[in-house]
Structure 1
Amino acid sequence: MSIGIVGGGIIGLSIAFELVERGRTDITVYDRDPTQGAGLVAAGMLAPTAEAGFGEEVLQDLMSESMRRWPSFAERVEARTGTPIAYRTDGTLLVALTADDQAEVDRLIGFYHRAGRPIEPLSGRALRELEPLLAPRVRGGARAPGDHQVDPRRLLRALRMLPVRFEARDVVDLSTLQDDVIIVANGIGAAALTGLPVRPVKGQLLRLRGAEPLLRHVVRGIAAGRDVYLVPRADGELIVGATEEERGADRTVTAGGLLDLLRPAADLLPGVAELVLSETLAGLRPSTPDNAPVIDRLESPPVIVAAGHHRNGVLLAPATAAAVAETVIDGATNIDITAFRAGRFT
């Protein structure tokens, strides 16, 4: 049985990985330019707590299921490819700068408690004991110990070492593919191939670099009402992101977008101002009307689709990949993806 996967990003390659793990070898990945995928501009936060949003309770269940799978997924990817992917389990800190910011964090803490997610409220002093370089003005926040991180670029590098065929071309018509099974996992491109309402949401991001890491934990911060996340790497790199902008397919990096990131980042972590600005970039998140993915078998065209993961593509990769691989091989999956059927948009 030949399998064609349209899309060579994190979702598509994670599906290829799970199929290879299950003994499938006749796999072709179609992608003209994998460098345009959302995964290359993702920060790699694996945050089923800190990234959960109000009204996304069903999505939270899938996020939690995928997080449960991440340690094994990371271990298996590294074992098969021999490539480290910088999987870290330090947790995430929610950090508030002002009293109003603290009120918002308190609201989030209550939401996470009701959702059953592990969250530990912390004072400003306790936060600075964990991260001494945080600003003295930080009021307080919380720690989410179950949130982890991975380096998406390293993950992609590892997954591209899989024993599958890579064909560098655009697929504009699924009828041109001769594979027995076709999986559409090409992010915003899924809209044109399947008719599903997957739209681009622009996100701008900075990469900064210093001699030593300024942080050990991922920080999701609120500074004077501005949201920002700070993701440290062991080599001294710091990822700062990310805006969410309804700008269509625009990938322009703007001064305003960068200011919206740098201002709260420096307010929370003053040492940011001394780092080298090594890269600015903008990417397109594939999003749906409810910001949850579509994971489903479609009858017209007869394909399996896994797209529309919005800001959670890296986190949801293991569960999505396992659900699709089980559907291909067994005809069904034990992972509950009922809420992510395509029919919810009709």
Structure 2
Amino acid sequence: MPQGIAALEPDLAGRFERGLYFKGEAHIDPRAALAALAERLGSLGGTIRFATEADSAAAQDGRRVIDCTGLAARSVLTDLRGVKGEMLHVRAPDLTLTRPVRVLHPRTPVYVVPREAGHYMIGATMIESDQASGITARAMLELLGAAYALHPAFGEAEILEIGTGVRPAFPDNLPRLVRRGETLYVNGLFRHGFLAAPALARRAAAFVLEGREAPEVM
């Protein structure tokens, strides 16, 4: 109902006739989350080493390797494929949204996620490609057009960042834990990385520490 939309997001009042509201839906800033996770790991005595390869030699003293390298593991996980995604980070100070809003635009469905005050992430495309090239003009036009359909204030938004990346996905788009020797591969999270990562991490830990398998992902 329009009244319900206005009560939840006043700046969208009168713009849409109906919508779906998921009370328990949450969102995070991935970069802030990674920084917090790194800090927490350090507080527990963990060490992060960049530009360092882990290989089978690590297992000689009883340790295991958990590989979460995405498409870089394709030499072992040969059915992995890449799905390119493109997003925009914009500043629209004249608009206030307090929760993620997904727009079922007939041409380009998008989601708009609030960050810090007046900042929004607009995403994201899905292109069957393993090339992490720059954003295409078509993708930018479609993302901005769909955001403008949500609210005209996006027409005056300042584009702060353009992001592209390649998501690792298996043919069924479902994540998996795959064991090869003493290496456990956690991969194929597709476009649901932060959503599915906690569940996959718990299952990986249970397998490594307790030997418990998770048939639904193995």
The answer, yes or no, to whether TM exceeds 0.5 is yes
The CA distance in 2 between the partners of 1:229 and 1:212, in whole Å, is 18
- The alignment yields a C-alpha RMSD, in angstroms, of 2.1
Instruction: Assess, with a 3 A threshold, how the Cα gap between structure 1 residues 218 and 184 changes in structure 2: closer, same or farther.
Output: same
The CA distance in 1 between the partners of 2:90 and 2:216, in whole Å, is 38
2:21 matched residue in structure 1: 143
The CA distance in 1 between the partners of 2:29 and 2:85, in whole Å, is 17
How far residue 213 of structure 1 moved from its aligned partner, in angstroms, is 5.6
Matches within 5 A, 1:99-248: 123-134=1-12, 136-161=14-39, 162-163=41-42, 164-169=46-51, 171=53, 174-175=55-56, 177=58, 180-192=63-75, 194-211=76-93, 214-248=96-130
Aligned AA (2:217): F
Structure (1 or 2) with the greater helix fraction: 1
Q: Which of residues 276, 282, 285 is equivalent to 2:158?
A: 276
How high is the TM-score relative to the length of structure 2? Answer: 0.88
**Deviating more after overlay: 174-183 vs 254-263:** 174-183
Unaligned runs of 5+ in 1: 1-122, 342-346
How far residue 284 of structure 1 moved from its aligned partner, in angstroms, is 0.9
How high is the TM-score relative to the length of structure 1? Answer: 0.57
Unaligned runs of 5+ in 2: none
Q: Aligned residue pairs: how many?
A: 212
Q: Relative contact order (alpha carbons < 8 A, sep ≥ 6): 1 or 2 greater?
A: 1
The CA distance in 2 between the partners of 1:223 and 1:195, in whole Å, is 35
2:202 matched residue in structure 1: 322
Q: Contact conserved, 2:95 with 2:153, CA < 8 A, in 1? A: no
SS of the residue 2:48 aligns to: strand
The CA distance in 1 between the partners of 2:77 and 2:177, in whole Å, is 14
Instruction: Assess, with a 3 A threshold, how the Cα gap between structure 1 residues 196 and 301 changes in structure 2: closer, same or farther.
Output: farther
2:192 matched residue in structure 1: 312
Q: Contact conserved, 1:133 with 1:271, CA < 8 A, in 2? A: no
The CA distance in 1 between the partners of 2:181 and 2:176, in whole Å, is 15
SS of the residue 1:280 aligns to: strand
* Percentage of matched positions with identical amino acids: 31
SS of the residue 1:166 aligns to: coil
1:91 matched residue in structure 2: none
Aligned AA (1:219): V
